[in-house]
Structure 1
Amino acid sequence: MELCVALDLPSRKENLRLAEKLADYDIWLKVGFRTFIRDGRAFLDELKAISPRFRLFLDLKLYDIPNTMADAAEEIAQMGVDMFNLHASAGKKGMRTVMERLESYEKRPLVLAVTALTSFSYHDFKEIYGADIDEKAAWFALQAYQAGCDGVVCSVYESRAIKHETDRNFLTLTPGVRPFGESSDDQQRVADLAAAKREGVDIIVVGRPVYRADDPAGVVKRILESL
């Protein structure tokens, strides 16, 4: 299991300061919507300059027609990030088009498909998609697997079933993990580190428990020791 720290602080300066505190660790750093829109590609280069040990996950959740997603995927690949994501609900054709477009890259980023946002409650998800989360998340994951994606973004609670439906090497990345039982905040389907281990998760994303801590590096060290 690997650790990904979410850089979700209000300013570029705060995020860079956090990254500097974590420079001694082999971890993923997640750059999301707000951060990327505000700070752009230059911010990615700044993170790489802090430590070659960092791997970058660009969390933009692409969702558009197939060709537009593939165009965007090419631009992302040229930024040198290590992983990005798109929405599985954009469809198998869209996911396959992205993967085919990236075939020519000698070192392409990993591509993950988002199954169901962890902010959804079971009721909210069924209201929108007309199906239970467990059933639909596994179906989305199978579509992503068949389209050639490297894995999915899901909650801890779907990881085991998704690997059963696809392959044990098909990656599961789980946001909203509260390693030691911290507050769930705006997430609905959260879990702790023990549950993530039990369900076979490959990459856990931790945000607030790290960047709100008085000693972020200490929290990261504790998580990595627990892994």
Structure 2
Amino acid sequence: MNKPIIALDFSSKEQVEEFLALFGEPLFVKVGMELFYQEGPELVRMIKSKGHQIFLDLKLHDIPNTVESAMRGLAKLGVDLTNVHAAGGVEMMKAAKKGLAGSTTQLIAVTQLTSTDETQMHEDQLIYVSLEESVLHYAKQAKRAGLDGVVCSVLESSAIARDCGEAFLKVTPGIRIAGAAADDQKRVATPKAAKEQGSTHIVVGRAITKAQDPVAAYSQIKNEWSGR
């Protein structure tokens, strides 16, 4: 079972170092736009040097040539997982995969953000199918492009496993401990529900990073995720 991915929703290298120092074990962490755009590649190198796995969550979405070139640069960082927006299309996703050629980095595509609900999708994106249909379509496009999986909510994990296979990665944010606030997420679930629905990875941020005892919170989520 993959480790829960901890979203490092911090704004500085110092905060990251302070947080990582709390743990006596290698972690799987997510470095997103806020952190990467302020601290850059050096932060990624620092985290890797400490033995942690990294999901570099930059959600690239541009013309195929630009995305391929960007991925060629990211491949040099040796991250374990990175992503693009599936809305960029099959050719863009293929170009992203090509940019990572020769590296061990796995590539996934964002389907619909877990902060998006069906009404928003209809009104803001003018996509009039159901949210699940949209997510499944993007997942199938990602598989067609040769990607390793997608980012989706727990609610779509089982359908994606059915249509794209059990081995196709289902990386699910919006994970909360039962009874915790949803914050700005619309489609949330517990670690136990994620496991039952077929998620291959879960991403947890504030439930750990803002906890009074982050190590205890991580342990609780990890145990629930692993079925202990």
* Bin of the TM-score, shorter chain as denominator length: over 0.9
Distance 2:100 2:214 in 1: 36
The separation in 2 between residues aligned to 1:124 and 1:100, in whole angstroms, is 33
Aligned to 2:116: 120
- Kept after mapping to 1: 8 A contact 2:142/2:150: yes
| Map 1:1-227 → 2, pairs under 5 A | 1-2=1-2, 3-25=4-26, 27-49=27-49, 51-52=50-51, 54-103=52-101, 105=102, 107-127=103-123, 128=125, 129-226=127-224, 227=226
- TM value normalised by structure 2: 0.93
Task: Decide which moves more: 129-138 or 183-192.
Answer: 129-138
Please state how far the C-alpha of 1:80 moved relative to its aligned partner: 1.2
Structure 1, unpaired ranges of 5+ = none
User: What residue identity is the alignment partner of 2:21?
Assistant: E
- Quote the offset at 1:5 in angstroms: 0.1
Moved over 3 A (4+): none
Name the aligned partner's letter for residue 108 of structure 2. Answer: L
What letter is aligned with 2:35?
Answer: T
SS in 2 for 1:29: strand
Coordinate RMSD, CA, aligned: 1.3
Tell me how many residue pairs correspond in the alignment: 222
Q: Partners of 2:211 and 2:95 in 1: how far apart?
A: 41
Judge conservation of contact 1:125–1:131 (CA < 8 Å) in 2: no
SS for the counterpart of 2:84 is strand
Q: Secondary structure at the match of 1:108?
A: coil
Identity of aligned residues (%): 37
Q: In 1, distance between residues paired with 2:33 and 2:99?
A: 23
Segments of 5+ residues of structure 2 without an aligned counterpart are none
Contact 2:70 2:99 in 1 (8 A): no
Q: CA deviation at 1:83?
A: 0.8
Tell me which moved more, 153-162 or 93-102.
Answer: 93-102
Q: Cα deviations across residues 18-56 of structure 1 (Å, max 9, x unaligned)? A: 11213414x31000001000011111122123x31x100
Amino acid at match of 1:155: S
* 2:114 counterpart SS class: coil
Report deviation, 1:174.
0.6
Q: Contact 1:181/1:192 (CA < 8 Å) preserved in 2?
A: no
Q: In the superposition, relative to structure 1, how do residues 181 and 74 fare at CA in structure 2: closer, same or farther (>3 Å)?
A: farther
Contact 2:75–2:99 (8 Å) recurs in 1: no
Q: Secondary structure at the match of 1:21?
A: coil
SS in 1 for 2:178: coil
Under a length normalisation based on structure 1, what TM-score does the superposition of the two structures give? 0.93
Cα displacement string for residues 103-149 of structure 1 (whole angstroms, at most 9, x for unaligned residues): 3x1x3201010000011011001221232210010010000001100
Partners of 1:157 and 1:199 within 8 A in 2: yes
Instruction: Measure the CA separation in 2 of the matches of 1:85 and 1:16.
Output: 24
Q: Secondary structure at the match of 2:11?
A: coil
